[in-house]
Structure 1
Amino acid sequence: MPAPQADAAPAYGGYAMAYFTESNQGSGDRYALHLAVSSDGLQWTPLNQNAPVATPTAGTKGLRDPFILRKQDGTFTVLATDLKGTNWTESNQYIHVWDSTDLRSFTGYRRIKVHSLPATHAWAPEAFWDPARQQYAVIYSAHNGTRDVIMASYTTDFTNVSAAETYFDPGFDIIDADVVTGVNGMNYLYYKRDHALYGAKSASLAPGAFNNGTYTGPISHGGTEAPVLTKSLTGTTWYLWGDTYTPNGVFYAWQTNDVATGNWAPVDQRTYTQPLNSKHAGITPITTAELNALKAAWGTPHWTRMKSYNHPDRYVRHLNYEARIDTYPFDPYRDSQWKTVPGLADGAGISFESVNHPGRFLRHSGYSVLLHTNDGSPGFAADATFYPTPGLGASAAVSYRSYNFPTRYLRHSGYKLRIDPLSPTSSLGDRQDATFLLTG
């Protein structure tokens, strides 16, 4: 069954996301295929410790914009832009392709030439099954000599493709098309124009059918690209993902109960978390068995990140050995990765060890929270031990009570972490300052 395919959703139990990584100063740049999984399509768990699962060996030897297609036979094909880095002037008529039976191994790596247009690119390739043609349409962004449009080449094997033809040209520059087929007899194509996302709809999948079908206004959060449409597996909700177009990539999400209306509302950032440093994702539904097999094969992170509940764009990190919450993304990004270990003073609690400074732990000193080297003393162990409790500001989240000052909780104040006396009768703002969401 092709993906995404709205009427196939009840068979699935989760999602797989393909992405590459960039961080705002470059320490997290990995132009290779990464995978994450989610049971709800909102909270994502990176696999393989957020390291690549496949890397191109030809062309630029780097990729951007990976996309996962579930083919008619139930196996997968992965497509990606052949580009390493951000040289947008580089011309390339090829895309990367892998085959996979299960997303646990990737075979048949090849590059395929999708067009013969001079001096232009083939960005953000995606594919869908066109039942009228009995072929897959491979769509991608290219410049036709006048403007950026969406081109299409057709294939049955992702090795041999037809001559390229213009698929979507509304008369102005556009890139990054994402197509969902067969939703109550309608097909949807979302794309980027300028710094926003728009949607078009058509009953036909033929080239040109979407040209006059734009039905939404601009959808954006400070400049957005790379639209991805997904449908809830348990209800009528549709989600639209978008990626900020700068290297400081942050995903934002919108939702609607009827994709046909084009009315999208922002999703609360508390409810979703992108994989660390992820950029320009492709999302496809998978079965529960496939999700569990992917976790078993690739492993889940041995580290965690802590997102502020009331400032969900900020994460706990250390900076100059002080603990604070800062707006994601930042470099060094490993400053926000924590290994939770049994409490140094009491195994019923936990302690937070820095991933990039092993042996250093979060501990309070004068009620401020710092990153210090474990000196082995009972006093250090006590200062570095916390008890997880239901979140003071939201019971589904978590708060951390100090081991040796049991009326005090870990909280942020002026974006710096400290421990302060808190209780269920404290102000809601103070309780939310002491509430965190654990993510990968």
Structure 2
Amino acid sequence: MITSDTPAQPVPPSRRSLLRAMAALPATALVLGGLPGTLGTAAAAAPARGYATRYTIVPFLNSNDGTVNVYESDDATDFRLLKASAYTPPSNRIRDASVFRHTDGYYYVTYTTHTWQDTSTTIGFARSSDRLNWTFLYDYPVPVANLSRAWAPEWFVDSDGSVNVIVSCSVTSNEWNFTPYLLRATNSALTSWSSPVALAGIGANHIDTFVVKLGSTYHAFTKNETTKYIEYATASSLTGTYTIRRTGDWAGWGGTREGAALVQLDNGGWRIFFDGYGDGSYYFSDSYDTFATWSAPKKLPVVSGTARHFTVLRETVAGGVTLPTAVSRSLRSGNYTTRYWQEQSALLNLPVVTGSSTTAEKQAATFTIVAGLADANGYSFRDAAGNYLRHWDFRARFDANDGTSTFAGDATFIARTGASTGSVRLESYNYPGHYLRHYNYQLRVDLTAGTDLFRQDSSFVSAAAWA
């Protein structure tokens, strides 16, 4: 198993404290899925052959709240810039953008329209056919009496197909005390909305509320602005009444975290993203037991320190890379073209293999690719003795299959597009975002660094078998 430790971070003041203090100062793929909120049960699967997973985020920038970038990823970890300054509204600002794909085929964003200093009684809407080119639609005045600020609107598509926005609102008598409200679209064009309804049970002084539905239960993640922690609540109805079940540092994420957003991964687990606004970083953490426990938070590569408050759109799209199965192949390094996978004393290394190598060396560099032990849409690799490639304490090695689900997860890899034409990257099934890569000519499983060098070191080419 791969384990890691995350050092404690200094605890800066909360966003609300900062706001109060500062206020005193002078002034074209085939899409098969992807609606947020309707992600079903935790039984997910890697994309089928010929398809790929695609995650999209549309964050505003740490340095500029007047525009948003578009990033995409195939693993929910390594986000690559798709287009800088992809959308700039005709007036005002764009913060806290939430994105989803509607049944009309368009992508929609809704967002906060003003910076924190200003009264902000509207939320903005824009749409795109390709995620790259966006058209402003309108600013919607949120009809809450005595409204001071409407912040962080989040899309939620319910299991009945209804499209909703959950928005954090405060009133003029207490402008930094937010309550989550629900707006429901009353037409398919998303231009007409129901009267706002407060989410019962969550209560005032909660901000950035994000909801997902599993079965018949609604799960809400919301920041308590008194304690500064992201809390967890459940309800049998979208509007509540919610019961807050976890408070304080219940998940080990620490305080001064906000902007929670969840997405389901290919292996069925759930990933939460949140803005560590006090330290300027962005984090993620994973759960495999319906939100009871979470992995230690890690900084999100590439966009951490650049991106601010976003939601994540997951889609299954045509394309993706595949490997032949039930055949013997050799795996060549994508950036060291004379080096191949080779089993040496049960460990997987990357030595030079040529036509003049011994028969034993060629046999040790030949493997059978089979359907993944944990997910048939993934891949597992078997040596001549019938042992399987798996990760153990970061290292890639071959062991006999003990029949456990842990072994199956350790021995299953999801094919992702490689750094060069014809190459493939192999993501760990049970540690998403971790890839087989060579380091000092040894094969190990490491969390992506989001760099070109890491992508090259983790890219391999399926070649004709040496033996």
Pairwise same-fold verdict (TM > 0.5): yes
Q: How does 1:11-26 map to 2 (within 5 A)?
A: 13-22=53-62
The Cα of 1:38 is off from its aligned counterpart by 0.8
Decide whether the 8 Å contact of 2:147 with 2:169 is kept in 1.
no
Partner residue in 1 for 2:132: 104
Partner residue in 1 for 2:215: 184
Matching residue within 271, 287, 290 for 1:239: 271
Partner residue in 1 for 2:144: 116
Partner residue in 2 for 1:150: 180
Matching residue within 257, 263, 266 for 2:296: 266
SS at match of 2:261: strand
- Give the Cα separation in 2 of the matches to 1:99 and 1:254: 30
Decide whether the 8 Å contact of 1:4 with 1:284 is kept in 2.
no
Decide whether the 8 Å contact of 1:153 with 1:161 is kept in 2.
yes
The Cα of 1:114 is off from its aligned counterpart by 2.0
The Cα of 1:203 is off from its aligned counterpart by 2.5
Q: How does 1:313-328 map to 2 (within 5 A)?
A: none
Matched positions, count: 286
Question: Using a 3 Å threshold, how does the CA distance of structure 1 residues 55 and 209 change in structure 2: closer, same or farther?
Answer: same
Partner residue in 1 for 2:157: 129
Question: Using a 3 Å threshold, how does the CA distance of structure 1 residues 230 and 135 change in structure 2: closer, same or farther?
Answer: closer
The Cα of 1:231 is off from its aligned counterpart by 1.1
Q: How does 1:1-400 map to 2 (within 5 A)?
A: 2-7=35-40, 13-22=53-62, 28-48=63-83, 51-58=84-91, 60=92, 62-84=93-115, 86-87=116-117, 90-131=118-159, 135-144=162-171, 145=173, 147-155=177-185, 156=187, 157-181=189-213, 183-194=214-225, 195-205=228-238, 207-210=239-242, 212-215=243-246, 217-218=248-249, 219=251, 220-233=253-266, 235-246=267-278, 248-261=279-292, 263-269=293-299, 272-274=301-303, 277-289=306-318, 390-392=438-440, 395=443
* Structure-2-length-normalised TM-score: 0.55
- Give the Cα separation in 2 of the matches to 1:52 and 1:80: 15
User: For structure 2, which runs of at least 5 residues remain unmatched after alignment?
Assistant: 1-32, 322-436, 447-452, 457-467
Decide whether the 8 Å contact of 2:121 with 2:149 is kept in 1.
yes
The Cα of 1:394 is off from its aligned counterpart by 7.2
The Cα of 1:108 is off from its aligned counterpart by 4.7
User: For structure 1, which runs of at least 5 residues remain unmatched after alignment?
Assistant: 23-27, 293-388, 399-435
- Give the Cα separation in 1 of the matches to 2:318 and 2:136: 24
- Give the Cα separation in 2 of the matches to 1:135 and 1:169: 22
- Give the Cα separation in 2 of the matches to 1:110 and 1:291: 36
The Cα of 1:169 is off from its aligned counterpart by 4.8
Q: Deviations over 1:310-345 (max 9, x none)?
A: xxxxxxxxxxxxxxxxxxxxxxxxxxxxxxxxxxxx
Q: Deviations over 1:255-277 (max 9, x none)?
A: 1102242x1121455x8443661
- Opposite residue 254 of structure 1, the aligned amino acid is S
Decide whether the 8 Å contact of 2:231 with 2:244 is kept in 1.
no
Decide whether the 8 Å contact of 2:282 with 2:305 is kept in 1.
no
- Give the Cα separation in 2 of the matches to 1:209 and 1:137: 17
* Structure-1-length-normalised TM-score: 0.58
- Give the Cα separation in 1 of the matches to 2:440 and 2:245: 45
Decide whether the 8 Å contact of 1:81 with 1:125 is kept in 2.
yes
- Give the Cα separation in 1 of the matches to 2:441 and 2:206: 43
The Cα of 1:214 is off from its aligned counterpart by 3.1
- Give the Cα separation in 1 of the matches to 2:274 and 2:167: 17
- Alignment RMSD: 3.1
Partner residue in 2 for 1:382: none
Aligned-residue sequence identity (percent) comes to 20
Decide whether the 8 Å contact of 2:153 with 2:165 is kept in 1.
yes
- Give the Cα separation in 1 of the matches to 2:208 and 2:109: 16
SS at match of 2:280: coil
- Give the Cα separation in 2 of the matches to 1:187 and 1:282: 18
The Cα of 1:175 is off from its aligned counterpart by 0.1
- Give the Cα separation in 2 of the matches to 1:264 and 1:173: 25
Decide whether the 8 Å contact of 1:189 with 1:201 is kept in 2.
yes
The Cα of 1:41 is off from its aligned counterpart by 0.4
Question: Using a 3 Å threshold, how does the CA distance of structure 1 residues 162 and 172 change in structure 2: closer, same or farther?
Answer: closer
- Give the Cα separation in 1 of the matches to 2:438 and 2:248: 41
- Opposite residue 183 of structure 2, the aligned amino acid is S
Q: Deviations over 1:290-319 (max 9, x none)?
A: 999xxxxxxxxxxxxxxxxxxxxxxxxxxx
The Cα of 1:149 is off from its aligned counterpart by 0.6
SS at match of 1:53: strand
The Cα of 1:4 is off from its aligned counterpart by 4.1
- Give the Cα separation in 1 of the matches to 2:301 and 2:271: 11
Decide whether the 8 Å contact of 1:255 with 1:265 is kept in 2.
yes
Decide whether the 8 Å contact of 1:201 with 1:215 is kept in 2.
no
- Give the Cα separation in 1 of the matches to 2:295 and 2:143: 37
- Opposite residue 16 of structure 1, the aligned amino acid is T
